Amino acid sequence: MQKIETVQQFEQLAETNPRFFFMKHSLTCPISSNAFTDYQAFLNNNREEDGYYLAVQEARELSNHISEKYGIKHESPQAFLFIDGKPGWNASHWNITEKELSKL
């Protein structure tokens, strides 16, 4: 799992990777901490999947960019599955679980 911090890094990722998971993670929210643990577990158990994240407090510009570009209201935590450069799925809060991610 790799941390993405800039709009440029994210745009390059979206252009070059046909399928990847992405999570907006809050460093101060206990719900986000639980979701992030499940996200990490999912990626550890599904090594063929590519996973990335941002820390909302450290990458506010990128977080806002994703919300504005794709017209998806910002939430934190929030997870996405990007397919061909667009979100094919997204969920927030308690809906981000290893079980739900495994269905995708």
pLDDT grade, residue 56 (50/70/90)?
very high
What beta strand segments (E) does the chain contain? 2-3, 19-25, 51-55, 78-83, 86-92
CATH number at residue 63: 3.40.30.10
How many distinct structural domains can be found in the chain?
1
Q: Which pLDDT does position 15 carry in this prediction?
A: 96
- pTM of the entire structure? 0.95
pLDDT tens digits, one per residue of 62-74: 999 999 999 999 9
Residue 58's domain spans which residues?
2-102
